[in-house]
Amino acid sequence: MSNIAIWNGTSTFTTGSTPFGFYDSDTEFQTDADLIAQWCTRRLGFPIVEIELQSGSFYAAFEEAVTTYGNEVYQYKVRENYLNLESTVIGGNYNNQVITPNLGSIIRISDTYAEEAGAGGTTTWHTGSFTLIPLQQEYDLQAAVSASGVTGSIELKKLFFEAPPAIVRYFDPYAGTGTGIQSLLETFGFGQFSPGINFLLMPVYFDIQKVQAIQLNDQIRKAAYSFDIHNNKVRIFPVPDYNTVVPGVNDQMYFHYILTDERDNPVVDNRTNLVTNVSNVPYTNPVYSQINSIGKQWIRQYTLALIKEILAYVRGKYSNIPVPGAEVVLNQSDLLTDARKEKEDLLTQLRAMLDQTSRNKQLEQQAAEADSTQKMFDKVPLAIYYF
């Protein structure tokens, strides 16, 4: 095997010098690649000590450091904003976009509770009916739905079996008093239910109390309108008879139901090209020239740690080198230990800084500043004005 030349103190970056070429077209990256190679080797003792690496190792480490920095920053952004990004259409990238918090995902979660209460949601409420038969008390809702060609298990949501509202039996005792005020109760929508021609306007609570009295009378003195349901078989009370059910006239009982397959289906949005997990949130590698000096210093330090790690592996191949009359012991162990610790410390430092810039931390800091400012203002003497 021929001898491979090691670092000679100079390098010239060209497009294609890095393994992936993520940043090769960035002129600032091209310039800094050679500068960082010079800086790392001098930090490692060159030219007093030979550095058993080539320029390609420095370029690869530099590219990895920039990518690692971008990954850490954008991973934090994904964690911070994922609830606001999920189900958005993938397009472009969010690298330099301000993500505005929204309630989209929270509303999707709350919809599952709302649909159980009949107040919204994504599950369709279907309408079905069955024919009431005098003296028959029990009816099979599943059979009624299946007879309409609907397949699948159902769940009853509402059965329209209830007493007529008390207001339709409300009699206005003040009708015909001769006040000359025509249909004042129309203001409340009650006028059509009273036989009176003229009305005396009473407080609304009077009418509400009357309606409640009618409802209580029905509950105590009449058979209550209710039903039991087990396994989609409904038993209604009171039992329909020939006086209450007229075939072909009022013999249909309606109900709302859902298909359990539709309710249990976790996929409610069949559109494609949506953000569905952290792997397809549209963040890309950073633009090196747009990274500020703080980020670039972190990248330089991380590049040096990577170079130490690479150099440690190279020197580890020959830990002892015999020389005339002695033996040279290479510092592979020290380099590897330092490299791993520096990488870990740098990542910890970056993550701590990102955590301090989170939305929660910033709001807490602003609240603390507002409290401190208010305390300072409280100590300012109040001026007394004379007129």
pLDDT of the chain along its 387 residues, tens only?
456 788 898 999 999 999 999 999 999 999 999 999 999 999 999 999 889 999 999 999 999 999 999 999 999 999 999 989 988 888 878 998 888 888 888 888 888 888 888 787 888 899 999 999 999 999 999 999 998 888 889 999 999 988 777 777 666 655 544 443 444 445 455 555 555 555 566 788 887 888 888 888 877 777 778 889 888 999 998 888 888 888 888 889 999 999 999 888 888 777 888 998 999 999 999 999 999 999 999 999 999 999 999 999 988 877 655 555 555 556 788 899 999 999 999 999 999 999 999 989 999 999 999 999 999 988 888 777 766
Shared domain for 240 and 337, answered yes or no, is no
State whether residue 184 is helix, strand or coil: helix
Shared domain for 229 and 116, answered yes or no, is yes
Q: Is residue 331 part of a domain?
A: yes
Q: Is residue 8 part of a domain?
A: no
Q: Is residue 135 part of a domain?
A: yes
Would you say 198 and 175 are in contact if contact means Cβ atoms under 8 Å apart? yes
Q: Write the pLDDT tens digit of every residue in 176-197.
A: 444 434 444 454 555 555 555 5
| Residue 123, both tokens | 């599950």
Q: How far apart are CA 195 and CA 112, in angstroms?
A: 46
> Which residue has tokens 């920095």?
69
> Which residue has tokens 């996929």?
267
Q: Is residue 347 part of a domain?
A: yes
Task: Please name which of 143, 161, 131, 165 lies closest in space to residue 249, comparing C-alpha atoms.
Answer: 131
Overall domain count for the chain: 2
Shared domain for 190 and 238, answered yes or no, is yes
> Which residue has tokens 């069955």?
130
State whether residue 167 is helix, strand or coil: helix
The residue range of the domain holding 151 is: 111-264
Shared domain for 94 and 120, answered yes or no, is no
Alpha helices in the chain (DSSP H): 27-43, 55-85, 104-116, 141-146, 204-221, 260-264, 293-316, 332-356, 359-378
Q: Is residue 18 part of a domain?
A: no
Shared domain for 135 and 75, answered yes or no, is no
Shared domain for 158 and 243, answered yes or no, is yes
Which of 215, 231, 264 terminates a domain? The answer is: 264
Shared domain for 227 and 127, answered yes or no, is yes
Shared domain for 173 and 70, answered yes or no, is no
Would you say 181 and 199 are in contact if contact means Cβ atoms under 8 Å apart? yes
Shared domain for 207 and 119, answered yes or no, is yes
Cα 36 from chain centroid (whole Å): 41
Shared domain for 260 and 158, answered yes or no, is yes
Shared domain for 36 and 62, answered yes or no, is yes
